[in-house]
């Protein structure tokens, strides 16, 4: 993913930021990332559902 600029994300939530980036990839790609980083997801208490919701079909 490319970003055109770095922004100070004032008044943005983590889900807002996740939506911006995960909305650019497919659900299968999200699942692949989840499987690769499952230990990290588990360690930090993250689930996959919010990311799948914003991903493309």
Question: Does the structure show a pLDDT above 80 at 9?
Answer: no
pLDDT (tens digit per residue) in 11-53: 778 778 888 899 999 999 999 999 999 999 999 999 999 999 9
Whether pLDDT at 6 is above 90: no
How much is the pTM?
Answer: 0.73
Burial pattern 18-43, b for ≥16 Cβ within 10 A else e, equals bbeebeebebeebeebbeeeeeebee
**The pLDDT of residue 26:** 98
> Is residue 3 very low, low, confident or very high in pLDDT (cuts 50, 70, 90)?
low
Residue 7's pLDDT is what?
63
């Amino acid at each position: 993913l490319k970003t055109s600029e770095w922004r100070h994300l004032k008044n943005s939530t983590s889900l807002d930021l996740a939506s911006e980036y995960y909305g650019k990839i497919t659900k299968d790609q999200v699942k692949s990332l989840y499987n690769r980083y499952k230990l990290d997801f588990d360690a930090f208490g993250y689930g996959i559902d919010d990311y799948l919701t914003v991903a493309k079909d």
